């Protein structure tokens, strides 16, 4: 009897582990936040799938099917249980600060996955160390094999600082002078980031209103676009959502439709997304 029970359990193990396949993409932002994106293909007749998420903090967590319709799920610690329904493809996406760390000028991202993982580093990054031989490298995109992997890199601003130090030695600049230049650069960058949210878009209002007429928009969609237009053509997704009093998932689907139709550009940030009207 015990042997028969063991045989049944052994037969069931591959069925449980093979309930889906997935692609994993990690997009790293300059501040260390990472956008985690799973593209999951459930096997036929699978009604629920269980997925272990990376990290422990999950900001802006969305679970949708191939048409962008939200799917119901339960989140228990780092395990998410998704009700598949009729979905052919399931997308799980969220932001987390838990996968990166910084030591001096060097950033590192670490991930453990039973599937290959594509890691997209910030623009201008330079890879300085890899835990394993990569499957491919193209620009700032590196694909690592399954297992416990890490990629170390420096940002473009850090590289520029190091080049500056080298030139300082050649031209006998003082260390104090270099420090002052670096401080001025940091202050200027911080000022630029503070102004980023207030940036207005060069947009012909009349032309955009005519562009809106080409689409069959409902009242809610028109109000959202007009609100952004009055804000100078750019506003945070949360700001628009709060102004109109609409649920988070409703707003997310609406902005996805806008972007698909060429009405807006979604600028994905580490903590919130911005919506920018397209001329």
pLDDT, one tens digit per residue, over 252-263 is 888 889 998 899
Q: Is residue 161 over pLDDT 80?
A: no
**CA–centroid distance for 76 within its chain:** 22
Q: Compute the distance between CA of residue 34 and CA of residue 236 in angstroms, rounded to an integer.
A: 19
Q: Is residue 2 over pLDDT 70?
A: no
Q: Which residues, other chains included, contact 266 with Cβ-Cβ below 8 Å and sequence gap of 6+?
A: 237, 255, 256, 259, 273, 274, 275, 276
Relative orientation angle of helices 219-230 and 237-244, to the nearest 10 degrees? 130
Q: Is residue 3 over pLDDT 80?
A: no
Residue 212 backbone phi and psi in degrees, to 5: -60, -35
- Any idea which architecture 205-277 has in CATH? Orthogonal Bundle (1.10)
Question: Which CATH topology does 17-153 take?
Answer: Immunoglobulin-like (2.60.40)
pLDDT tier, 26 (very low <50, low <70, confident <90, very high otherwise): very high
Q: Compute the distance between CA of residue 94 and CA of residue 113 in angstroms, rounded to an integer.
A: 16
Handedness of CA 251, 252, 255, 256 (dihedral sign): negative
Which two structure tokens, joined as six digits, stand for 224? 């959202």
DSSP of 187-249? HHHHHHHHHHTTPPP---HHHHHHHHHTS---HHHHHHHHHHHHTTSEEEHHHHHHHHT--HH
Largest CA distance in the chain: 84
pLDDT value at residue 4: 54
Residue-wise pLDDT tens digits, 235-252: 988 899 899 998 887 888
Helices (H), the chain: 2-17, 156-171, 175-196, 205-213, 219-230, 237-244, 248-260
127 - beta bridge partners? 153
pTM of the shown model: 0.53
Most confident among 62-76, 199-213, 237-251, 262-276 (mean pLDDT)? 62-76
């Amino acid at each position: 009897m015990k042997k028969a029970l063991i045989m049944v359990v052994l037969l069931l193990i591959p069925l449980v582990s093979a309930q889906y396949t997935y692609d994993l993409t990690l997009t790293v932002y300059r501040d260390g936040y990472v956008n985690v994106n799973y593209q999951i293909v459930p096997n036929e007749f699978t009604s629920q799938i269980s997925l272990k998420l990376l990290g422990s903090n999950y900001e802006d967590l969305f679970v949708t099917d191939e048409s962008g319709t939200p799917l119901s799920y339960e989140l228990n610690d780092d395990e998410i249980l998704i009700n598949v329904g009729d979905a052919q493809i399931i997308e799980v996406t969220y932001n987390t600060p838990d996968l990166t760390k910084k030591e001096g000028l060097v950033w590192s991202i670490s991930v453990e996955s039973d599937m290959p993982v594509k890691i997209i580093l910030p623009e201008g990054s330079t890879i300085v160390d890899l835990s394993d031989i990569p499957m491919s490298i193209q620009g700032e995109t590196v694909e690592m094999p399954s297992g416990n992997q890490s990629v170390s890199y420096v940002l473009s601003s850090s590289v520029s600082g190091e080049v500056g130090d080298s030139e300082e030695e050649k031209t006998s600049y003082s260390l104090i002078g270099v420090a002052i230049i670096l401080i001025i650069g940091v202050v200027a960058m911080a000022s630029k980031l503070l102004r980023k949210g207030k940036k207005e878009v060069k947009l012909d209002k009349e032309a955009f209103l005519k562009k809106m007429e080409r689409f069959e928009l409902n009242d809610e969609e028109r109000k959202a676009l007009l609100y952004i237009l009055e804000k100078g053509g750019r506003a945070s997704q949360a700001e628009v959502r709060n102004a109109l009093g609409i649920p988070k998932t409703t707003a997310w689907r609406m902005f996805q439709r806008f972007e698909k139709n060429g009405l807006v550009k979604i600028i994905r940030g580490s903590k919130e997304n911005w919506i920018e009207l397209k001329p």
